Every structure is written in C-alpha cells, then in structure tokens.
Amino acid sequence: MNQEINQSLFLLGSSHQVADLAARERISLPPDSIDEFYNGLGKIEGLDEYLLLNTCNRTEIYGAAQKSFSFDSLGKYLSNFRKLDPDFLSQHSYQRNDHEVVDHLFKVTSGIDSQMVGETEILGQVKKAYEDACQRKAAGKMLNRLFQKGFQAAKWARTNTGISRGQVNLGNVLCELARRIFGKVSNCRLLVVGAGEVAESTIEAFKSRGSQAITVTGRTFDWCPLCRNKPAELAEKFGGFALSFEQFKESMHLFDVILTSTASGKSLVDYGDIKKSMKKRPSQPLFLIDASVPRNIEEKVSQIENVFLYNMDDVSTIANENLKSRISEVDRCKGALARRAVKLWEQMTQTREIS
C-alpha cells in the first residue's frame, strides 16, 4: 500500500537579512548554552528532528515536524530562552516551510545568502552544525537528506558559477583593507584572538601575501568546543607564534592588525586598553577587526586617533563592492538552486511503497 510522508520541513531564523548587528547579538546563542537549548528543543511537541545553525551572522533552527507542531511554540521557546520580547523576535526573524526551507538552505551553503555574497566559510560552519546535530541524534532521515543535498548544491554552485570569483572570504577582504591602510600586507604584524575558521582563513590570507609576523592567542589553550582548534596548534600550522591570553593586552602595541573572532559573548578589548596601546606606538595606525557576535571590542575605541575599527557589517559592505561584476552569476545561481530545491522537495514528498 501507499503511505504519505506526514512530516514537513520548517525553519525559524534570524540573519543580517532582517536584523542589524545589535539585534543579532541579542538573538545569537552563547556557546555554553547550546546543550541546554538542544535539550529544550527535544521537548517541543511534534518536533521530530532539529538542527541549530548559530554563526556570527545567523541563528537558524531547521527541523522536521509532524502536523501537531506549531511555529508559535518554537518562537516562544527561543524568546524565553534568550529573554526576548516576542514582538522583537518576530520583527527580526523569518519563517520558512517545506520547499522554501530547501531553497533557503541551498542559498546559505552556497554563500548566496551570506553577508559577503559568495563567501566560502559558511559551508564549513553548516557542516559543523550538521555534525553536531548528528552526534546529538537530533537529525534524522529527513534532515540528513536535506543537508547532504545542501552540501552537493554548494559544490555545484562554486564549480559551475562565478559567485565566488575573486575568492570571497573574510581573510581576503581583511588583507585588502590592511593593504589600503598600510600599503603592504607583507609588512603587517598580525594578532589573531581565536582559533576558528575565520581566524584560520585570515591567517592563511595574510601568510599567502608574505606576512611572516603572525601570532595567535585565545581565551584558553584547551580545546574550544566551537572551533575545535587550539590557538597553539593553529599558530604552529602556519609557522606563527602562540601568545598567552594573559599577555595579549599588554602586547597589543606590537601589532598592526588585530582580529578578534571568539565566542566569549563579552567585550575583551575596551577603550582604555587601546588608548594605552596607542601611547606605545605613536603615529602608527592600528587596524582592528571584530568578527565576533556578540562583539569583543568596545565600539568607542574607533574614536581614538589612528585606530580603524571594523565589525562584520562594515566588512561585508566593502566585500560586496565588486558585487555588480558578479550580479549576473548570482542571479543565474539563484535560479538554478531554486530549480534544484523544487525537484528535491518533490522527491522528498513522493508517496512510497510499503510491502
């Protein structure tokens, strides 16, 4: 006999598309709360499978659910968990159902929906989120198929279109900004606070342009549950130096470029820290990049003379300067991915024979 699949796909999310940096900071989940959040998801009625994607630019919950599932229950849960007014979450989030979820994920994995259109880091972040959900046994047959097809769609997009022309990633953009400020990237002394993919891509980009003075530090030299890297190991991988976190503030004046990319959820560098550092490097500019959400660097430091502070919103604006030259490829990619999404959803919702 034939049996219809009675599950549907859903997505509740917030990203740069609907929320500014301040709003994303309020919605984003602190790393040390992920276990608790997943435990709560498992108690929502009708929710069979679920996956959390929590990055610097987006917080998204994907799931497969029965007819008894209600979007309102998920929105209420997230609002309560993050202590948000329900109206605030509603204003800064979006909902997707069924084939819209497939289409959205394809655009996310390919970089089409990214703040820096065509960037490459997001695919690795989605893969880690998927692996985490699988380890928790939160992802089942439906999400497994969705995300495996999402990874295939990303590979197709990067192989067959020009959306990533120019190697769009944060590291390359930061190198270009450093070049504008200092003239030569090879002369820049780089300090990276953190050890995740953003940190690694930045180090790789600076290294490829001749930078030799590369130093890595982190809140702890133990394993980081989010980035799965040790600062010391990352430094060793690229022939750089490891700096004790307890020493990094006193050493900031030695560097030209400082990137913070941590999941600490709090400010690590304030106005006084930078003011003190600049007194030790008179007339020398300092380039600060805060790639963390919530932010690690106090915004007020941008008022200090010769200090250039950029956050993720600033960087994405610069990264998309050449978007006009790629717009035809972006549109072509969107159309192709949309067709692939419709086809996959039709396959997923076909009736199946039960012997």
Q: Which sequence positions are flagged as catalytic? A: 56
- Amino acid symbol at 337: L
Residues in the chain: 355
Which tokens go with 236? 């060793």
Which tokens go with 29? 């989940």
Contact between 45 and 69 under an 8 Å Cβ cutoff? The reply is: yes
- Cβ neighbours around 118 below 10 Å, total: 28
> What is the Cα–Cα distance from 159 to 154, expressed in whole angstroms?
9
- Amino acid symbol at 31: P
Which tokens go with 283? 């007339």
Q: Write out the DSSP string of 212-241.
A: --EEEE-S-SSPPTTT---HHHHHHHTT-E
- Amino acid symbol at 341: A
Closest CA to 343 of 162, 164, 145, 139: 145
For the stretch 135-138, contacts whose Cβ atoms lie closer than 8 Å and that sit 24 or more positions apart, written own/partner, are 136/38, 138/38, 138/41, 138/42, 138/49, 138/50, 138/51
Which tokens go with 101? 């979820």
Helix or strand holding residue 30 (H, E): none
Distance between start and end Cα atoms, the chain: 7
Please compute, for residue 22, the number of CA atoms within 13 A of its CA located in the half-sphere on the CB side.
3
For the stretch 35-42, contacts whose Cβ atoms lie closer than 8 Å and that sit 24 or more positions apart, written own/partner, are 36/81, 37/81, 38/136, 38/138, 40/77, 40/81, 41/77, 41/138, 42/138
